Every structure is written in structure tokens, then in C-alpha cells.
Amino acid sequence: MTLHAACLLASLLSSAAVKDFEGLTCGSDLAPVLLGRRMSDGPVVKTEKRYEKLGLKALGSDEAEQGVTFVSWAICGDTYLTLERRSVIVDAVRIEGARDPAWSECKRSGESATAPLLIVADPAAAAFRVARAFKIDYRAGKFVAVDPAGLTCEKP
């Protein structure tokens, strides 16, 4: 394949990507459907307004690291964590219910080193307890689930 043909193919594939939150409906796990969507560069407020029927709300984002940006969204009453590379969603995870994930320094029982993890607290627990935890593999553009058993994390 020539360079010109490869560029043309890449252009066609990227223009064929579904934009933003078009065609989404509430009622199921949207994480698999978000993959490959091209996010607009416009103001987030306009995107939220355009998709208000989904209860869309931008919850926050982190600066790009190794070309990958972390963004969290409220969609249909759930929280979705997304990773974007060049404005295209490359990974997504659903957190059921409107719970806010937070970065925290965590360590496993018996270990002295701490590592920053994206954690989701268990809202039903009487004391602070981590229900789910993730680290981000920026090179691969993937969320990596971390077993919360034995994790001690600073309360965000």
C-alpha cells in the first residue's frame, strides 16, 4: 500500500467515526458503544446541551499523558470513565450510579510503596472502603482493573 493510499484510508476511517454521543439511548451499558467515537473540540457546555436527554454532564478530565486524555462523564445516571487519543475514545468503563471516581494514593497490605489509582468508594459501606480501582496504561490506552482487596487508600 502506498503512503497516499494509507493516508486516504486513514482519512476515510476517521471521518466515518460516530461523533460525540449521537444515537445513544439509556438503558444499557454504553461503554462498548462509546469506543471509537470522535469527540468534538467545541465547548463542553454545547455538547451537554445537545445531549441533555442523556443527562450528559462532563465531570472532569486530566491532561494528556503519552497522547491519552482521561475524561469522566455522567451519562444516563451512571458515570463513564473514558480515555481519548486524538479525540477518539479508545477505552471506556461504566461505574453504575452517579458516583465520583477520584485519584488516591494506595498501597496493598504489606507493601510500602504507594501508587496513584483511580478509585470508586463503596457508598453502602459505613467506613471508607474502595469498591473498584483502576490504573491507566497510557501506552496501551486502557484502563486496568486493580483488585481492591487489601488496598489501603487515602480518602479523597
pLDDT tens-digit map of 85-106: 999 999 999 999 877 888 898 9
User: What would the pLDDT profile of 15-40 be if each residue is shown by its tens digit?
Assistant: 456 788 999 999 999 999 999 999 98
Percent of the chain exceeding pLDDT 90 equals: 54
Give this prediction's pTM. 0.82
Count, in order, helices (H) and strands (E) of the chain.
3, 9
What is the spatial distance between Cα 18 and Cα 20, in angstroms, rounded to a whole number? 7
Q: CA-based angle 21:79:108, to the nearest 5?
A: 135
Q: Is the pLDDT of residue 110 over 70?
A: yes
Residue with cell 477518539: 88
